[in-house]
Structure 1
Amino acid sequence: MRSMDTTPPGDTPAERFGALVRRLAEEAGYDLTPRAGGRKQLAIDTGMSTSAIGRMLDGQTLPTPSVYESIAKVLGVDVRTLLVEGGVISSDSWPEGAYWAVRSVTEQPQLSPEAAVAAWGITDPRIRQMLLNSIEQAIRLQHETDTGLGTASSGRP
């Protein structure tokens, strides 16, 4: 019952998110007026159903987490902007610039062992060196396996 809800109208996360996506979609060229085809095209472009797009744009529901990235990509914003400005998370949850290297799995650049250790927050010099040595050894072994050098030295066929 809405009368028992202390959240002002238009101030729920779903409503804020829907309003943001609506604005961004219109700015991106989607015509969201009834029967214009914009909702259907947005659904196709994001991989969502037309009904899910409608519920999201109307502020009734938030999308499933698996589609935030595709929504952001289609609308030309980063996921952080989408989640923070849409009111899904606070800016304290994901401070600006804190995770600059976060990308989709398919867009990950080659990560150096040093960058991996730093990203994991390993600061103790002994632990860092142990982990770096292990990573470098694993990379060497994988290279030997990939090039066929590892089978002869291991004695396995």
Structure 2
Amino acid sequence: MEHTTPRGNDHASPDQFATWLKRQLEQRGYDLRPRGGGQSRFAADSGIGAGTVSRMLRGEGATETRVLKMLADALQLPLAEVLVAAGVLSASELCNVRNPARPDPLTPEEAADELGITDPQSRRLFVSMTETLRQQRAENGEGRIAEN
């Protein structure tokens, strides 16, 4: 079975979602022809209301996240794939969520703040120790841990 979502970085349109959903249902054996019974059968199988299934298939927009979760479960697809197909997330937004940009490393002073080290002497010791360890790491080559 093909598991594809609409291409591109933009959000999928309701019509694109309807096309995607029709393809998913047909691949799973639901007959979506008039009087084919597939739409009603899928509604019953998935627990999603028949009216909601009908609206999604007509391209009248995706529905609430709870329903999209039910859809993902019924199709046995990751929720993320359904959210992209429904236009809730773009493919690039999903990528950013899965692989967030790494912020600049904390300075020793910022790390002390984050750790709640407020005593001036403890702060100086922490900052000094951190800078010494950082220098040893640089001397041993990036990515290598200092050996004792």
TM superposition score normalised by structure 2: 0.54
- Answer yes or no: is the 8 Å Cα contact 1:26–1:32 preserved in 2: yes
Q: Aligned-residue CA RMSD in angstroms?
A: 2.7
Deviations 1:28-82 (A, max 9, x none): 1111111121111111122222121111001012122111111112112111111
CA shift for structure 1 position 13:
2.0
SS at match of 1:71: helix
Name the CA shift for 1:30/1:66 in 2 (closer, same or farther; >3 Å). same
Q: Which runs of 5+ in 1 are unaligned?
A: 1-10, 100-122, 128-157
Q: Distance in 1 between matches of 2:90 and 2:18?
A: 16
Q: Distance in 1 between matches of 2:44 and 2:96?
A: 30
- The answer for the alignment partner of 2:91 in structure 1 is 91
Tell which structure's C-alpha radius of gyration is larger. Answer: 2
- The answer for the alignment partner of 2:62 in structure 1 is 62
Which structure has the higher relative contact order (CA within 8 Å, separation 6+)?
Answer: 2
Q: Distance in 2 between matches of 1:19 and 1:52?
A: 15
- Answer yes or no: is the 8 Å Cα contact 2:12–2:86 preserved in 1: no
CA shift for structure 1 position 96:
7.6
Q: Distance in 1 between matches of 2:45 and 2:70?
A: 8
Q: Which runs of 5+ in 2 are unaligned?
A: 1-10, 100-110, 117-148
Q: Distance in 2 between matches of 1:47 and 1:95?
A: 30
